[in-house]
Amino acid sequence: MGKNFDAVYKERADAVETALDKYVTLKNNYQSKIYEAMRYSLLGGGKRLRGVLCLTGGLLAGGAEKDVMPFACAMEMIHTYSLVHDDLPAMDNDDMRRGKLTCHKKFDEATAILAGDALLNGAFELMLKSKGRESDTLKAMEIIAEASGTEGMIGGQTVDLMCEGKEISKDLLLYLHRHKTGALISAALLSGYVACGGKNEGTAVLREYAEKIGLAFQVVDDILDITGDEKTLGKPIGSDNKNHKNTFIGFMGLDGSKEYAKELSAAAAETVKGLGEEGKFLAWLAEYLCDRKF
Ligand code: GRG
């Protein structure tokens, strides 16, 4: 790779941003408002973690960035849809996201629901139109559909809403986060790998890595909701408390959670040791996610 990993991350995140801008364009027709709302929430914010993971999966399989890009952008579109819907009054009822007004505050609730729906459908349309080998494309799409659906993110969100204000076990907290946040993070890396023809033997180690960083990511999210800076985060802190959420802090305290995130990130880095330069990038990413401030 020959560069520092911060620069590599930025390069990949910027490439995803540019491609999203190209794929999700404004249209001058009767429904132009929906394109405006989609672009408002999708562009100009976000770490592009899922997109970067997806590109990295593709590169690990020996693919070219341009071949895996539709999948990387689809991951970011699905992720943004989930945030737009999660912010709605029926769910977390948040006013700020990525440093600006949430979609329903900027537009209105109906538009935010439709913009989320449109991003989800658009993601699948984009993947279907990609130019890779059909069997690889379909396998990658299956991974993403499962991870976003009832046995993945939507399942986790359902359990999360059911558990608000209730005392739950640590096992259920882990289940919830593996589904709500972890599934999509894992699908990002795996779908990129599979879309570029990655061999079955390689998937186990990527799955193990992704499960660990997915959990570490959520633990850090809980920590930032207490210790973070609102301006840097781009959203209010204390929202877990406001929404009576169960968090890792509740189970292991602030210091215990910091320690747990570090352990997970170190274990994740260990799993990808043998994967050459891209493995080194993934190991750096595990550490970066642990130290992140937003
Ligand atoms: C509404 C179907 C549906 C699902 C919502 C992902 C999710 C499920 C809700 C988001 C709530 C939340 C804050 C979860 C914590 C982890 C998380 C997904 C944080 C946001 O992801 P980042 O930090 O966001 O990667 P950026 O803005 O950087 O892309």
Q: DSSP characters for 81-115?
A: HHHHHHTSTTTT--SEETTEE-HHHHS-HHHHHHH
* Rounded Cα–Cα distance for residues 189 and 58 (Å): 8
* Rounded Cα–Cα distance for residues 294 and 276 (Å): 28
**Nearest CA, atom 17, ligand 1:** 181
The CATH class of 5-288 is mainly alpha
80 within ligand 1 shell (Cβ under 6 A): no
Find the Cα–Cα–Cα–Cα dihedral 21, 26, 27, 30, rounded to 10°. 150
Ligand 1 pocket test: which of 20, 75, 221, 222 has the largest number of ligand atoms within 8 Å of its C-beta? 221
47 within ligand 1 shell (Cβ under 6 A): yes
Atom of ligand 1 nearest to the CA of 45: 27
Q: What is the pLDDT of residue 2?
A: 47
Question: Which residue type does 198 have?
Answer: G
- 67-93 b/e (C-beta count within 10 Å ≥ 16 → b): bbbbbbbbbbbbbbbbbbbbbbeeebe
- Render each residue's pLDDT in the chain as its tens digit; 294 residues: 546 999 999 999 999 999 999 999 999 999 999 999 999 999 989 999 999 999 999 999 999 999 999 999 999 999 999 999 999 999 999 999 999 999 999 999 999 999 999 999 999 999 999 999 999 999 999 999 999 999 999 999 999 999 999 999 999 999 999 999 999 999 999 999 999 999 999 999 999 999 999 999 999 999 999 999 998 998 889 989 888 999 999 999 999 999 999 999 999 999 999 999 999 999 999 999 999 988
94 within ligand 1 shell (Cβ under 6 A): no
Q: What is the pLDDT of residue 236?
A: 85
Closest CA to 79 of 34, 37, 46: 46
98 within ligand 1 shell (Cβ under 6 A): yes
Atom of ligand 1 nearest to the CA of 47: 28
Q: What is the pLDDT of residue 235?
A: 86
